[in-house]
Chain A
């Protein structure tokens, strides 16, 4: 039977459209435990490829014939081998082109909503890594927030929309993924903004992103306004777009809150985190739609694939916003934290401009989930 090559984009469709898929993941048990392709209706079987070298007969009864079957590995080589073995045994299966590496890199742009005067706001969902980037467009101009490193996805999108990228922001110095922000700015002539308190060690020029800074897009009244909201990092800054959307960066997620320890200063920053979540955000309108820079679990995706929820609902439902006792909160976000993201120190140095790894090294650094939250 046939072996079909699937692109990461096709797999992303299965996730977003809530479709069924059977994934035969042939990586190590450790790698699978740590990080896999998450889908609402996905089933999994994890058998390392090296246990199948003598044949696939033993696993045939476990593989369904009434739904799509996708074989997945780290880069693709082993998945092709196993897919061909299954094919020879009479099954029709697919393999993921480029493996988990390509899954980690894929971005799906989804429209979040309309802004006034014909403007639009897009969320770029990086399903494999849980990163969320944003582009607000209006009056022929665009602002980008928390761009991941695949700069051409953003520049091409802006080109298709016929808009000029004018402002590029990072809400904070990222530790889990490599920012594309300053490279997009360099390519397009846009201004790159970074919170100065996160930028003490950076080796490039940037515009300071400080509390109260606003930019306007085109001739319209659409405003992108900065709100200082420290806690995940000391410089972490949120944005209110068009009085309607609250971009929270890594401070507040749908089902969790930001962790304060990735720059090594959990004890110092926990108070800031508390202040931001329990005081500053409380003064904002509950009808604001929260748009975070990450999601951690597939349940955080809405039906249309976006990651967005009313602030009022988060106040009611998000556990991290409902810890009355300050001491309990303090211990929750400083003790028993989940493992740190892969290569997070190196990633911070890349984002400071201190080291410049090549494409393959960057891919390697970003392998695995983002782990920026505490639940």
Chain B
């Protein structure tokens, strides 16, 4: 997977992880991949729903040492 940009949203509470992610995704091109690091557990469902609403694809998501990683391909 080719990661175009990484956004570190660790320690941020809702709604900031999504707000920052949206801003970041606006700066990359269609088909490129954004990596997002989040610690807010509430983000899990929000990212899925947000990506779906915007037509973006979550290529992969994982949790390591309390950090959630999302790999989002821009629509």
Question: What residues of chain A have their CB less than 8 Å away from a CB belonging to chain B?
Answer: 28-31, 48-51, 53, 73-75, 77-78, 81, 364
With contacts A50-B22, A53-B19 known, is A78 near B14, CB below 8 A? Answer: yes
**B53 close to chain A: CB less than 8 A:** yes
Mask, B26-47, CB within 8 Å of A = 1, is 0000000000000001100110
Complex CA distance for A82 and B73, rounded to whole angstroms: 27
Known: A48-B46, A77-B16. 16 other contacts (CB 8 A): A28-B45, A28-B46, A30-B45, A30-B49, A48-B49, A48-B53, A49-B15, A50-B22, A50-B46, A53-B19, A53-B22, A73-B15, A74-B14, A75-B14, A78-B15, A81-B19
With contacts A75-B13, A77-B13 known, is A31 near B18, CB below 8 A? Answer: no
Asked if B45 and A50 sit within 8 Å, CB to CB, the answer is: no
Q: Which residues of B8-25 are within 8 A (CB) of A?
A: 13-16, 18-19, 22
* Size category, B interface: 10 to 19
- The SS class assigned to the A binding surface is helix
The listed residue with most A CB atoms (<10 A of its CB), out of B19, B42, B49, B53, is: B42
B13 nearest in chain A by CB position: A77
B14 nearest in chain A by CB position: A77
Interchain Cβ contacts within 8 Å, total number: 40
Least CB distance from B20 to A in Å reads 11
Asked if A29 and B16 sit within 8 Å, CB to CB, the answer is: no
Question: What residues of chain B have their CB less than 8 Å away from a CB belonging to chain A?
Answer: 13-16, 18-19, 22, 41-42, 45-46, 49-50, 53
A79 nearest in chain B by CB position: B15
Least CB distance from B26 to A in Å reads 10
A48 nearest in chain B by CB position: B49
Asked if B18 and A49 sit within 8 Å, CB to CB, the answer is: yes
- Can you list 18 pairs linking A and B with CB atoms under 8 Å apart? A30-B49, A48-B49, A48-B50, A49-B15, A50-B18, A50-B22, A50-B49, A50-B50, A50-B53, A73-B15, A74-B42, A75-B13, A75-B14, A75-B42, A77-B15, A77-B16, A78-B15, A364-B41
Complex CA distance for A31 and B45, rounded to whole angstroms: 9
Complex CA distance for A29 and B42, rounded to whole angstroms: 14
Chain A residues contacting B46 (CB-CB under 8 Å) are 28, 48, 50
Chain A residues contacting B42 (CB-CB under 8 Å) are 74-75
Complex CA distance for A30 and B45, rounded to whole angstroms: 9
Chain A residues contacting B14 (CB-CB under 8 Å) are 73-75, 77-78
Asked if B15 and A28 sit within 8 Å, CB to CB, the answer is: no
Chain A residues contacting B49 (CB-CB under 8 Å) are 28-30, 48, 50
Chain B residues contacting A50 (CB-CB under 8 Å) are 15, 18, 22, 46, 49-50, 53
Q: Closest 6 A-B residue pairs measured CB to CB?
A: A78-B15, A50-B50, A77-B14, A28-B49, A50-B18, A77-B13
Least CB distance from A99 to B in Å reads 9
B51 nearest in chain A by CB position: A50
Chain A residues contacting B45 (CB-CB under 8 Å) are 28, 30-31
Chain A residues contacting B16 (CB-CB under 8 Å) are 77
Complex CA distance for A364 and B45, rounded to whole angstroms: 14
Chain A residues contacting B53 (CB-CB under 8 Å) are 48, 50-51
Least CB distance from B75 to A in Å reads 15
Chain A residues contacting B13 (CB-CB under 8 Å) are 75, 77
Complex CA distance for A51 and B42, rounded to whole angstroms: 17
Complex CA distance for A344 and B50, rounded to whole angstroms: 28
Chain B residues contacting A74 (CB-CB under 8 Å) are 14, 42
Complex CA distance for A78 and B46, rounded to whole angstroms: 11
Chain B residues contacting A77 (CB-CB under 8 Å) are 13-16
The listed residue with most A CB atoms (<10 A of its CB), out of B13, B15, B46, is: B15
